[in-house]
Amino acid sequence: MTISVPAGDTSRRLPPAADILSPRDAFMVLNLYSNGYSAALGETVVREAFKNQFREMTSGELACNDSFGKILPLSIYVRLKR
C-alpha cells in the first residue's frame, strides 16, 4: 500500500497508517523526498505515530554521486518492523 502525503502533513497522516498496519510481522518504509528533512525528523514522526510499538527501526539518507564527484542528497527513509 502506498499513502501519498502532501509536504508538511506527515505527522498528521501517519497515525492512520499505524492503525492499519498489522501489530506483528509487518513493516513500513517512509520515504521523504523533499530536501531539508533529516533522518532524525523521520524517526521522530514514526515514533510518535506508532507510539514505540515496533521491534526495529532503521533510517538513513538516499544520495547519488554526480559526474563531478559531488554527493547529491535525494531523500531520507525510515524503515519500521513490527
Output the pLDDT for position 33: 83
- The whole-number pLDDT of residue 78 equals 95
Q: Are 63 and 35 in contact (CB under 8 A)?
A: no
pLDDT in single tens digits along all 82 residues of the chain: 555 555 555 566 677 888 888 988 999 999 988 667 889 989 998 998 898 889 999 999 999 999 999 999 899 999 999 9
Residue 39's alpha-carbon distances to 17, 20, 23, in angstroms, are 19, 23, 24
pLDDT at site 57: 95
| Identity of the amino acid at 29 | V
Q: What is the pLDDT of residue 79?
A: 95
The SS3 assignment for 18 reads: helix
Taking the complete model, does pTM exceed 0.85, yes or no? no
